[in-house]
Chain A
Amino acid sequence: MFAQKGVELIQELERAKDFLPPFNEDGVRQVLEEMRALFEENQRDASSAVAGESEYITSVHIRHCALERNKRCLMAYLYNRLERIKEHRWHFGSVLPADIKANICEPEAQFFIKYNKSLAAYMKSIGEGSYSLDLTQNLKPPKNLYIQVKCITEFGEFETEDGDIVVLKKNSLHLLPRVQCELLIAQGILEHVS
């Protein structure tokens, strides 16, 4: 059955909705192989069709549809992975955690870096450049200035914007300004305690 591999790639993404599975280089290669094979067969049949044998026209047509389908599946796979990578920037910040890094291929890593750069340039340019705003912070309306957090993984020293040093020892409780904690909460080092 044509384009089976392409559909498999899509299914892989569909099944792993919460995380990014490793880049299926093998799958992609197979789809491209299939496309090449189909194309070559089509070339042969097309030339014969032009020469006048009309019974090949349907097979050319079928192969063309298969080619289109393969292309669509492949594009969807690649594009969808890009979407997820972009989402990671908004969740995890500009440094990818190691387990995600292991699952992306080199061009995807490059894309991430370029996306980062674009985003950073945009954020710097807000307010005519005099005020750079980090758009990935402040995800929820602020309820109070300070929040109580518990440190769940040992982190060590952390410097706040005011220059204060906070030692994040495991199981210590802290009251810190909300803006300082948001990134750490997203990374799972701190936990909000009511």
Chain B
Amino acid sequence: MASYSGNLTQLSDFLGTADTISETEDAEFLSASEAVKKLEESWLNEMLAPELLLPQTELVDCLLEQTKNMEENLMAISKSDFRFALHRMEVERIRYIVTSYLRIRLEKIEKFLCFLLNNENKRQRNEPSLLTEDELKFAQELNSNTESHLKTLGLRHMPTNMRDINTQKFMIAPNRDSYVFARVKDDAPSVLVSDGTSEGEMEVELLKNSQHLLPYRSIASLVQNNVVNLM
């Protein structure tokens, strides 16, 4: 996969003083290049994880805002200046990452539709949701459309005791036991992994910058907390 973490200092140079962009809930200020790097990580994580991860809405919003500003600035430069081409490429690349990230999420949402909606219903108020508001709306609409379609074409005509959709049967849950490659960003507490036998478990140490091949389940929470990156 091509590396997108190229030298993005041009971005900040080019934008002049507009350097600080986003605020996360912890009031962190991110510079433009850091934002893109973070998005790349989230993108890769989302691509490789078997389940849907927490949405990075602020990141997406701020980067989209960023590209819009960049495009406006680009209008000022003549097309033949080679800086135009460079920055245009940068805009395109960022847009590609954002689009791909959102696309992957939609794919997962469509795949795990019932499971996610079920979770959403069961979720407590203080737990963060895996779906953004708009994603939730999309998922609900898709679900109701599918249901009504199946009802119209099939279920309606079936005998009375069979007219329900058994959501349990329909549900596809993500496979949290699939193996993934992971790189540890910071030192983390070691995890317990089954060593192949039915009762034994082994401890895997997670030191900074080490790389492992593990079942997703054991590092799921670490991925969500950004301590471990998938590769």
Q: Do chains A and B touch in the complex (CB under 8 A)?
A: yes
Chain B positions 169 through 195: 1 when the CB is less than 8 Å from some CB of chain A, otherwise 0 = 000000000000000000000000000
Say which residue of B60, B96, B98, B153 sits within 8 Å of A107 (CB atoms).
B153
Kindly identify, within residues 41 to 79 of chain B, every residue whose CB is under 8 Å from any CB belonging to chain A: 60-61, 64-65, 68
| Contact yes or no, B162 A138, CB < 8 A | no
Counting CB contacts under 8 A, is A141 at the interface?
Answer: yes
Counting CB contacts under 8 A, is B142 at the interface?
Answer: yes
Counting CB contacts under 8 A, is B206 at the interface?
Answer: no
Say which residue of B65, B98, B149, B162 sits within 8 Å of A111 (CB atoms).
B149
A111 to B143, CA, bound (A): 11
Interface of A is mostly: helix
Given contacts A118-B145, A131-B65, contact A39 B159 (CB under 8 A): yes
A-B contact count (CB 8 A): 103
| Contact yes or no, B134 A125, CB < 8 A | yes
Counting CB contacts under 8 A, is A142 at the interface?
Answer: yes
Counting CB contacts under 8 A, is B205 at the interface?
Answer: no
Counting CB contacts under 8 A, is A86 at the interface?
Answer: yes
Counting CB contacts under 8 A, is B5 at the interface?
Answer: no
| Contact yes or no, A71 B92, CB < 8 A | no
- CB-CB < 8 A to A131: which residues of B? 64-65, 68
| Size category of the binding interface on chain B | 35 or more
- CB-CB < 8 A to B146: which residues of A? 79, 82, 111
A178 to B96, CA, bound (A): 12
Given contacts A35-B158, A36-B159, A127-B65, contact A28 B145 (CB under 8 A): no
- CB-CB < 8 A to A79: which residues of B? 146, 150
A110 to B145, CA, bound (A): 9
Chain B positions 80 through 104: 1 when the CB is less than 8 Å from some CB of chain A, otherwise 0 = 0000010011001101101110110
| Contact yes or no, A122 B61, CB < 8 A | no
Chain B positions 1 through 44: 1 when the CB is less than 8 Å from some CB of chain A, otherwise 0 = 01010000000000000000000000000000000000000000
Kindly identify, within residues 110 to 150 of chain A, every residue whose CB is under 8 Å from any CB belonging to chain B: 110-111, 114-115, 118-119, 121-122, 125-128, 130-131, 133-135, 137-138, 141-142, 144-145
| Contact yes or no, B150 A145, CB < 8 A | no
Given contacts A67-B159, A118-B142, contact A126 B102 (CB under 8 A): yes
Counting CB contacts under 8 A, is A185 at the interface?
Answer: no
Q: Mind listing 19 A-B residue pairs with CB under 8 Å?
A: A28-B153, A28-B154, A35-B158, A68-B162, A75-B150, A78-B149, A79-B146, A86-B110, A114-B141, A119-B138, A121-B137, A122-B134, A122-B135, A133-B98, A133-B99, A133-B102, A138-B99, A141-B93, A142-B89
